Chains A and B, each alone.
Chain A
């Protein structure tokens, strides 16, 4: 087990090196001189040349590459001239909001998707199943930004149950923060809940017809024990995969939710960075998102080994 973990961690390092390399290459091949872009159209050639020197852009590419890698290892992702902050600091400031949003959305999607998927799968063709399928269809076909606007229109502006936008005062209490996050979390959770519902339903339908489920019934176990102890356990692997991947995708999808609800999170930082061609910010966020993706995949792999006795001790 320990060997497998170490081996996976080695893999993570290799992937991160590739990501860093890709980020570096992209930043050097895109048209336009970063220094020129940063200083804008009014800059003099002298200004640009000075900034190029400061940024190390006059060095050979290989030297630049290793300097960049050295920075990444030290978690120094450069300084953004537009926001006047080191990128790492800017990201750390905004990370709590985005991470809370992702956690809340994931909890919501699991609370809704998992039980509905189980019920729909076990009672296939029943009223619950049909209602769940309808919900899934709606959730999958309505775009997030539209749902966000509708929620704001009716639940926030209309009924006044939730704040319309923002994140509250800088020193707001946890409960108030949470209150601000409910609607954006719903927007993020809906497509994930749908995906989870469908995966759970399909998994349950398959597993409920397995011989070992019949064995469980033949033992005289009640429906709860049959479903939860014997059937659900066997559908966990695909569910872990789906939950992991949806969490990873959330990081990107928060951009829409944060924009619609005016939340100063990582997504907001990305949008600003892209609009201003703020390369250090884009690079930093790209590195961070890739890192989270890789770590989530690592977590899925390790959970697999934990959950499935057939994979334990095997190094795939």
Chain B
């Protein structure tokens, strides 16, 4: 299934275009994610930021075609993946072929290392089964590979740890084991869905460093999902800010964090506590965004952030707002973005 190559930049390994995800409830269908488009490049990290319910995780599950069945489905768009066998459109790939992509070409690290590992299987086996499945490795070889991977992700005494069950490992160790599972087949894309959210801050830093190192070694592209702008600043090259199921701002991380063009991005940055030692007085009152997340079952006719926006004007509600390319590699979904630019 070869897709038109024109829609995929030559240097990208994964290109998403016009992605929409629908969830069917008993009465109607809700479009949880719409108009999502981005490219992932080898060795680069795209940070996907947004608050709970903004559609980050739904987007990542759609890429893996792991949306909750039978309610969720991809409503529109394409997910082009470059593989040695040509370009595949994951949005249209039959399920058996999709299974050869999962874990082999695109691997995923989930948020909760406590619950994402199978409590009844030793972690070595949970790593080895991926290599046996996709790479056709024998039992002994795969087990040896698993130990090497555990060692690589920084688990001490890897050979004996491979026999351990998840409950015998700490949270940080479990997340390292999850990363080892994801790495087992040297995928070209790794999706990390809030991989450090459940961990202590010091362990968080170690895991982020590990992902960075592994990425430099394997040249894999990383889609890093988080609600934490601090983490984005640390790991990502580019960032996409999501609100109400849509990208509201995209660009290089340094650029977006230094000069946010969308009022939502700005509000997110203002609601961060200031770093110790920064120029901002520590006792400044934290900024909170008024109102609550948009109801996707009945989105407002105009800008989805409009009702909560400080810079809201009547024109904002007139029609849906398109993503406006301000500069190469930079886009904003705000009709007033150019006023301030």
Give the contacting residue for A233; candidates B107, B110, B115, B118; CB below 8 A. B118
- A179 interfacial contact with B, CB 8 Å: no
| Cβ contacts under 8 Å, A274 to chain B | none
Given contacts A218-B64, A310-B165, contact A212 B99 (CB under 8 A): no
**Top 6 A-B pairs ranked by shortest CB distance?**
A220-B102, A220-B103, A219-B103, A211-B115, A309-B165, A212-B118
> Quick one: CB contact mask for B114-126 with A, threshold 8 Å, 1 for yes?
0111111110000
B residues 79-97 with Cβ under 8 Å of A?
Answer: none
- The reply to whether B118 and A220 contact each other, CB–CB distance below 8 Å, is no
> Does A296 sit within 8 A of B, measured CB to CB?
no
Does chain B have a CB within 8 A of A176? Answer: no
Q: Are A215 and B116 neighbours in the complex by a CB distance under 8 Å?
A: yes
A211, A220, A308 pick with most chain B CB within 10 angstroms: A220
Q: Which of B34-42, B129-137, B154-162, B313-321 lies at the interface? A: B129-137
The answer on a CB contact under 8 Å between A215 and B117 is yes
Decide yes or no: A310 and B167 within 8 Å by CB, A212-B117, A212-B118 being known contacts. Answer: yes
Interface size, B (range): 20 to 34
Chain A residues near B (Cβ < 8 Å): 210-212, 214-222, 225, 229-230, 233-234, 307-310
Cβ of A310: which chain B residues have Cβ within 8 Å of it?
A: 119, 165, 167
B101 within 8 A of partner (CB): yes
A-B contact pairs, 26 of them (CB 8 A): A211-B110, A212-B116, A212-B118, A212-B119, A214-B110, A215-B110, A215-B116, A215-B118, A218-B64, A218-B102, A218-B103, A218-B107, A219-B103, A219-B129, A219-B133, A220-B101, A220-B103, A220-B104, A230-B121, A233-B118, A233-B120, A234-B120, A308-B119, A310-B119, A310-B165, A310-B167
Q: Knowing that A212-B115, A217-B102, A221-B99 are A-B contacts, what are 12 other residue pairs whose CB atoms are under 8 Å apart, sorted by A's residue number?
A: A212-B118, A215-B110, A215-B117, A216-B118, A219-B130, A219-B133, A220-B102, A220-B133, A225-B129, A309-B122, A309-B167, A310-B165
Using CB atoms, name the residue of chain B closest to A307. Answer: B120
B216 to chain A, nearest CB (A): 24
Contact A309 B119 (CB under 8 A): yes
- Closest residue to A309 on the B side, CB-wise? B165
Closest chain B residue, CB of each to CB of A222: B99
A220 touches which of B116, B122, B130 (Cβ 8 Å):
B130
Residue from B104, B107, B116 whose CB has the most chain A CB atoms within 10 Å: B116
Q: How far is the CA of A207 from the CA of B30 in the complex (A)?
A: 27
Q: Which residues of B contact A212 (CB under 8 A)?
A: 115-119
Does B150 lie at the interface of the complex (its beta carbon under 8 Å from any beta carbon of A)?
no
Q: B100 and A220: CB pair below 8 A?
A: yes
B297 contacts partner chain A, Cβ-Cβ < 8 Å: no
A312 to chain B, nearest CB (A): 9
Contacts A219-B102, A220-B102, A220-B134 given; indicate if A214 touches B116 (C-beta within 8 A). Answer: yes
Measured between beta carbons, the chain A residues less than 8 angstroms from B102 are 217-220
Knowing A210-B115, A220-B99, A220-B101 are in contact, say whether A308-B120 is a contact too (CB < 8 A). Answer: yes
Bound CA–CA A216/B130 (angstroms):
9
Report B-chain residues with C-beta under 8 Å of the C-beta of A220: 99-104, 130, 133-134
Please give, as numbers and ranges, the residues of chain A lying within 8 Å of B117 by CB-CB distance: 212, 215
- A125 CB to closest chain B CB (Å) equals 9
Rounded to whole Å, the gap between the CB of B107 and the closest CB of chain A is 7
* Complexed CA–CA distance, A308 and B119 (Å): 8
CB distance from B178 to the nearest CB of A (A): 8
CB-CB contacts below 8 Å: B227-263 with A: none
List, in ascending order, chain A residues with CB within 8 A of B119's CB.
212, 234, 308-310
A211: chain B residues within 8 A (beta carbon): 110, 112, 115-116
* B66 on interface, CB distance cutoff 8 Å: yes
Verify if B149 is at the interface (C-beta below 8 Å from A).
no
Are A218 and B108 closer than 8 Å at their CB atoms?
A: yes
